[in-house]
Structure 1
Amino acid sequence: MRSTRKAIVPLIGLTFMLAATACSGGGGNNGGGSAANTDEGNNGGDPKAGEKVTLSMMWWGPDERHEATKNALSLYSKQNANVSFKPEYMAWDAYWQKLPTLAASKTIPDVLQMDAAYIQEYVARNQLEDLSDVDLDGIVDPKVVENLKIGGKLYGIPLSQNAAGIAFNKAELEQYGIPLPQKNWTYDDYFQWARDARGKLPEGKYPIGDSTSWDSYNFYQTSMGKDPVMADGGKKFTLDKELFMTYYKTYEEFRKAKIVPPAEKAAAFLENDPQADPMASGVVMTRGATTGSVSALEQLMPGKVGVVNMPTGPAGGGWAQSTIFLSVSANSKHKDEAKRFVRWFITDKEAGKTLGLTRGIPINPDIYKDLEPTLADKDKLGKEIYDLSVEKALPFYSAAAGYSEWADTYNKEMQAVTYGQQTIEKAYDKLNKMGMDLAAKAGS
């Protein structure tokens, strides 16, 4: 996704920077071809074995992904002579403008790329096929599969390993004698680490950033065993007041103690800009990162970046799963063929070499093992975030449909708190009322 100017970010709005690999835009023209295959009989209108089949497939991404995917489709057709493809590909924005129109007319492709931020919406519309019968044993970590299920069913085959973590300036922390963050640290550990680090850093440097985004707080709330802020497609809204006050009172303390940058300084931060990135500029020692996004930071600070998983609570912390999937249309006439293809997409080793890292670090450990010797350090760092995170990971919680304005309002109200323009309790009251009203509307 494109870099955007953030107001204050310790764990930086990870919902909206899921991974440059998952959401990256890019040009693209429509192409031709299509395919499918089946082991499972003749359900859903699938043809008999050997009959010609054309599968339509649609995805978003940059040109590199388009070319790699088209090559993979050609490979599948060589291996399955009765199968051809009708591909369509485009940039991120165009994709999400087109898909709702196709969904409304029940003409979405047999196979489509899906994103964690939108999959629940299309499941709720009954547009996606249940893929629970696709055998992923030995391919995808069972915990990851379980976290991906919606209502006990699997609607997307995960393509890549992605996780939320924290990047830190290893070189400067070592320079100032500050212990490096350790795997599975708790929120209490994280906050105490920040207090201790403040005493060793010179003026103008800060151990962590401030927090104004709803998803950064949601990490905290869910780690404590509470419901996510939005659940059941937005019909359930939970903004736990006690946890909310505890979390933001901590940051209020940190602003007074200069543990986080002042609001005016943080407002000028620009992710992945050599001069304005909070961490690359040397101002803040830590920054939110994902498996897909940390490579850009490593390129700005080669050899200086370390990573750790998100802080944890009694229930766990952060998330580690794919945020980009291949789904099958509930209205496809070739469901079994499509299911066989999507499994092939993540299991065939030749396809794995063809696709490379165009959708992030492959979800299949065997595919990754083959690719690893060719990877740069920046890509291996992304894998490290995933490996550190998966043990304690919670499900990925995206914003529910209809909550985009609430998410924007959350950021604005909490920025007002950081500037001292309103109290934490006043911000809570506004956000809780708005959220409860949206949940009631969704429920009706």
Structure 2
Amino acid sequence: MRHIPRALTALALATTLLAASACGGDSGGAASSSDGGKVTLRFTWWGSDTRTKLTQQVIDAYQKDHPNVTIKGEYGEWSGYWDKLATTVAANDAPDIIQMDEKYLREYADRGALLDLKKAQGLDTSKFEPDTLGAGEFDNGLYGLNAGINSFAVVVNPAAFKTAGVPIPDDKTWTWDDFAKTAAEITSKTGGKITGTGTLGGNEAGLNLWARQNGESLWTKDGKLGVSPEKTTDFFKYILKLRDEKAIPSAEAISQDMNASLDQSAFATGKLAMTFIWSNQLVAFSKATGQQLKLLRVPSTDGKAADNGSYYKGSMFWSISSRSKHQKEAAEFVNYLANSPAAGNVLLAERGVPPNTEVRAEVTPKLQPADAATAKFIQDIKADLGEPSPAPPVGGGQVEKIIQRYTTDVLFGRQAPDAAAKAFLDEVKGGLK
């Protein structure tokens, strides 16, 4: 994900406007038109042309069954989405239904821009997978409804393992030492033509799982930084271990890869045998590599899969504007997106594995191989999962770029792990609101 300072600046302007009109705030549907009259809803999302095409099909089907409702789609690429959303919120002109990302969920909710979905009329979560609602919940409210299940994983290219003559490890028992040994062996046996793995420091998810495996967490439930200097130091030390054992590419190559598009990334272009991804990225990486890839559980400290800190994360969320004049109708459409087999049969796993278990059972036989592999992985790891990780606090959405910078500093030798850990934590704390 990309850094969006302009969006956050624009969003900050919304606080005053929302406060000035507090009497029309989180009304839980009270402002909704329920007299059967004509209603127009604005619905915004980011994503590819494929996502837009499928989403429009769902909109068309819903409008056919609800002739009093018109839904106007507003869509775009990630790079401009957040600036536009922040501007519309600041101008008190937010769309009714918002596709939301975990990084900014609390940012918008804390500023009063989102409806507490627990108060929404017509929204049913009874068929959702247990523990899939947690990431959208904080301060006793539900501000984002999980649109798809995700989990952090190791993706492997079996063809690269075959070329190296190295067996794919048992992901139910492997440790971080096993991971490093396997990656270094691949680099050695291919003469460096294929490097074992990408870095664990490419985003904050790696540090979060490292912390969770050691009794901590990147964020606390009350919106504070929860990882200690000691565990962060250990995290950077492990990244150095991978470098020193030639399990990962050079510092220069890693720095370049952090800014590469998915199609041009080191894994997609066959330079790596493994890397860390979110499970819903398997489809895109499978397409980019032209290979049948495999998802593995993240390693653990003690070799027990149940202790590796994994959890179900929302790939993205459905949110409703607290300023919507049609909150009931907006909630009914979100309910259709989340719970209707008809919508599920169109969207399939495009936004991630459906969290509604009945919808998932309906669509799974129709999934393409990579989507089916993702759904199987999500099901296979279920018994070993912990509770959802808390949503990032206000200002926490910037951590990815910060951890990438300190990871490269450590790899280039510009900072020792303990100094990088302290500086990283100080900078993150300084950015929290």
TM-score (norm: length of structure 1): 0.77
Name which of 211, 216, 223 aligns with 1:221: 211
Equivalent in the alignment of 2:225: 237
Corresponding position of 2:52: 66
Give the Cα–Cα distance (whole angstroms) in 1 for the partners of residues 253 and 56 of structure 2: 45
Out of 331, 336, 339, the position equivalent to 1:347 is: 339
1:146-183 CA-to-partner distances (Å, cap 9, x unmatched) read 34312232112222222221101223435655442334
1:161-176 superposed matches below 5 A: 161-174=149-162, 176=164
* Mapped partners of 2:377, 2:285: distance in 1: 13
Cα distance 1:206–1:348, how it changes in 2: closer, same or farther (>3 A)? same
Q: Which residue of 2 aligns with 1:212?
A: 201
Structure 1 pair 332/171, CA: closer, same or farther in 2 (3 Å)? Answer: same
Following the alignment from structure 1 to structure 2, what is the Cα–Cα distance between the partners of residues 312 and 327?
34
Q: Which residue of 1 aligns with 2:177?
A: 191
Displacement after TM superposition at 1:44 (Å): 0.5
Matched ranges for 1:20-419 at <5 A: 44-132=30-118, 134-138=123-127, 140-174=128-162, 176=164, 178-185=166-173, 189-195=175-181, 198-199=184-185, 201-202=188-189, 203-204=191-192, 205-213=194-202, 215=204, 216-229=206-219, 232-233=222-223, 236-269=224-257, 270=260, 272-273=262-263, 277-312=265-300, 316-390=308-382, 391-396=384-389, 400-402=393-395, 407-419=400-412
SS of 1:143's equivalent? coil
Distance in 2 (CA, whole Å) between partners of 1:49 and 1:145 is 31
CA offset digits 1:50-108 (Å, max 9, x no partner) = 33333332223333333333332232232223323343333333331222122223331
How far apart, in 2, do the equivalents of 1:333 and 1:122 lie?
18
4+ residue segments displaced more than 6 Å: none
**Structure 2 CA distance for partners of 1:183 and 1:143, relative to 1, 3 Å:** farther
Deviation at 1:408, TM superposition (A): 3.2
Contact 1:164–1:389 (CA under 8 A) maintained in structure 2 = no
CA contact (8 A) 1:163 1:389 kept: no
Q: Which amino acid aligns with 2:86?
A: P
**AA in 2 matched with 1:325:** F
- Alignment check: 8 A CA contact 2:105 2:136 kept: no
Aligned equivalents of 1:308, 1:385: Cα separation in 2: 8
| Displacement of 1:373 | 3.7
Distance 1:297 1:263 in 2: 23
Q: Distance in 1 between matches of 2:314 and 2:183?
A: 33
Q: CA deviation at 1:268?
A: 4.8
Distance in 1 between the 2:283 and 2:150 partners?
13
Contact 1:406-1:434 at 8 Å conserved across structures: no
Cα RMSD between the aligned structures? 3.2
Give the CA deviation at 1:307.
0.9
Tell me how far apart the structure 2 counterparts of residues 418 and 94 of structure 1 sit (CA, whole Å).
32
The structure-2 alpha-carbon separation of the partners of 1:395 and 1:173, relative to structure 1 and needing over 3 Å to count, comes to: same
More helix by share: 2
Pairwise CA distance, 1:303: 4.8
Gaps of at least 5 residues in structure 1 are: 1-14, 18-41
CA contact (8 A) 1:255 1:261 kept: yes
Equivalent residue of 1:144, what SS? coil
Aligned to 2:428: 435
When residues 246 and 48 of structure 1 are mapped into structure 2, their CA distance, relative to the original with a 3 A threshold, is closer
Report the Cα offset of residue 396 of structure 1. 4.7
> 1:145 & 1:47 partners in 2: Cα distance?
28
- Secondary structure of the equivalent of 1:212? helix
**CA separation in 2, counterparts of 1:226 and 1:130?**
28
Q: Return 5+ residue gaps in structure 2 as ranges.
A: 4-27
Shift of 1:271: 5.7
CA separation of 1:81 and 1:173: change in aligned 2, threshold 3 A: same
Instruction: Give me the whole-angstrom Cα distance separating, in 2, the residues matched to 1:167 and 1:323.
Output: 17
How many residues get paired? Answer: 395
Q: Distance in 1 between matches of 2:44 and 2:182?
A: 50
